[in-house]
Amino acid sequence: MNITLLDPPIFELPFTWLASIGNLRLGIRQRDEWCTDIRGKTTILSNPADMMPLLPLLEIGKTAFYEHLSHVEQTYADLSNASQSFPAVFLLRFAFESSVSDYWPLKAIDWLDADGTIEPTLRESLRDMLSKPWLTQHLKHRVERVTKRTRRG
């Protein structure tokens, strides 16, 4: 999927679009309400199920995505809360809870590896994923490593 981090962002008040994934746009309404738009249909990102079309963000990596948000925050004062308000926990939970293969969960674990901390809801999602029948040995080991490492750190 073609992911474009928009620089400069597209300002269509009350929305500011910061990225596009195919024909989907990702942005912020007002200061910290994240949303998507597909052909004029706007969805406020309020739970993990809303995150399915954003899974390709996991492919560009947490560092690249948050560097883009940091640049936007520094350039546009109205967007100073973009990186803190992005619902990353919803994105990662969707990858862990809704996948039927190891591709998206492995990408999501890469995001966790970039940070080193795990929110309690993510720890629960990881624990639940360990019981999935499709779980590969590689993914199981990654889940065990990341949860063990973050418990210590």
Domain of 42?
1-86
**Nearest CA among 106, 111, 94, 112 for reference residue 139:** 106
- Tens of pLDDT, residues 80-97: 999 999 999 999 999 999
Same domain, 97 and 63: no
The residue behind tokens 């520094």 is 74
- Tens of pLDDT, residues 11-46: 999 999 999 999 999 999 987 899 999 999 999 999
Secondary element (H or E) of residue 6? strand 3-12
The residue behind tokens 């969805």 is 43
Same domain, 78 and 115: no
151 — pLDDT class (breaks 50, 70, 90): low
- Tens of pLDDT, residues 50-59: 999 999 999 9
Same domain, 49 and 10: yes
Same domain, 77 and 123: no
Same domain, 82 and 96: no
Same domain, 80 and 17: yes
pLDDT at 113: 87
Q: Which of 65, 86, 107 is the last residue of a domain?
A: 86
Same domain, 65 and 41: yes
DSSP-assigned beta bridge partners for residue 33? 29
> Which pair of tokens denotes residue 41?
């249909």
Radius of gyration of the chain (CA): 16
